[in-house]
Homo-oligomer: A and B are copies of this chain.
Amino acid sequence: MADFLNTAPYRGTRDFLPEEMSVRLQVFETLYRVIETFGFQRYDGPILEPVEVYEAKSGVELAEKQLYQLTDKAGRRLALRPEMTPSVARMIAANAGRLHFPVRWYSHPNCHRYEKPQRGRVREHWQINVDIFGSESVEAEVEIFELIHAMLGALGAPRSAYELRVNDRVLMLGALAHHAGVPPEAQKGVLSVLDRWEKVPEETSRGQLGALGLAAAQIDKVAGLTRLDLDGFLALLPGEEARTSPVLRILREGLLEAPLAFNPLIVRGLDYYTSTVFEVFDVSPENRRSIFGGGRYDNLTELFSKQRIPGIGFGMGDVTLFDFLGSHGLLPAPDVAPQVLVLCQEEALRSAARAIAAALRAAGLRVVTPLEAAGLGKELKRASQRGIRFAVIVGKDEEARGAAALRDLLRSEQREVARGDLAAAIQAALGRR
């Protein structure tokens, strides 16, 4: 065949070879464990969802520009899910009658967005999604923030490595209305400009605000809002909103022991957030960017049922998380090589070798046996090259004594070990129980 197909994965998607997959699995299994200790239960759902779900609530940019869409033979318009929150809202609405609220759920789906691939951005990424449904209590915010600190802590990140930034869209919209006179119909557009404020020159943002119909004086006031600290912000607001805002209560009543930074530029890009919004920022000089974020969305289940079920949660994507871990030297080493090669010195011992391999596997060790016939020396050399630490060599004399030769390929040491003691000897040397 003359023309070969391209071996590269589709643009913006990734192959995970075993070494890369091992790193990914180690990081995410650590996160699964932490999330489960907070009582969250894992769920999953289909990658295909009706397009309408995203058109209704996710925002124009996502639904119109970034969705991978297809139409099935029955004429159903489907999308590869670009995010998980609408799917989980659908599942919660479908099962609300038999769930015990508050519900703590998490998932780890792959999500697709049609974007120009660049640092921190791909077309298919793997995202941990964590949500609490059915609670309006500020304790839900506290728990989500505690969980975020616990997750990052379990990955080895010191609190100095990142900042948890919060805001409240109710406060922000109140300040935009009362202080800058932004009319309701321009609010969504202004939030979208604020969401990108730090990523573009201020003149660009000011131009966009002008295009939304704001006058020069209003634009100055919006720009002024972006520079306010908490006290300055509160001075602009009527009392009621500030008293009931969950993030303000946390900040002023000290409900969270870990640090939390008020930041008026945190508004998030998705339309469905209704109050609390937050982002975790990497503070290292070489990767100053948002790692992940989330917020409170009190009206998302109304797409699917008349029952109002408030939710709060976040999505943590693998690409930005791994950039963060990499920039702080926190990525684990791959751990994929087999641990033991079991060989026999002659064909008649094959069945004995197979029994030893089975026993070592039953003890949880990663064990290979040769597939192709090759000399002992060649096999041992190959095993070393592949990073295999031990060889068990089944020879006639040792077999007669109920034993085998255990060779440490790293230290080039060899000794005879009774068959029943092989697993324990290898595990001890590997530093495991």
Contact = CB atoms under 8 A, between A and B. Distances in A.
A75 to B, nearest CB: 12
B382 A18 contact: no
Interface stretch (A134-142, A163-171, A412-420): A134-142
A83 interface: no
Nearest to A336: B41
Contacts of A11: 74, 76
Contact of A366 (B17, B39, B68, B110): B39
Contacts of A257: 351, 354
A159 interface: no
B18 A41 contact: yes
A102 B6 contact: no
Copies in the complex: 2
Interface string A158-197: 0000000000000000000000000000000000000000
Interface string A38-55: 110111111111101100
B100 A8 contact: no
A139 B369 CA distance: 9
A110 B47 contact: yes
A1 B368 contact: no
A15 B135 contact: no
Interface string A94-111: 110000101011000010
A160 B176 CA distance: 72
A39 B335 CA distance: 12
Contacts of A37: 360-362, 364-367
A1 B90 CA distance: 15
B382 A94 contact: no
Contact of A304 (B7, B50, B69, B70): B7
Contact of A372 (B90, B110, B114, B139): B139
A148 to B, nearest CB: 14
A36 interface: yes
A227 interface: no
A303 B5 contact: yes
A7 B94 contact: yes
A53 to B, nearest CB: 6
Interface in A97-131: 100, 102, 104-105, 110, 112, 114, 124
Given A47-B112, A68-B72, A139-B370, 9 more contacts: A5-B53, A5-B304, A9-B46, A18-B41, A21-B44, A37-B367, A39-B367, A48-B68, A104-B368
What 4 pairs between A and B have smallest CB-CB spacing?
A13-B46, A7-B94, A18-B41, A39-B368
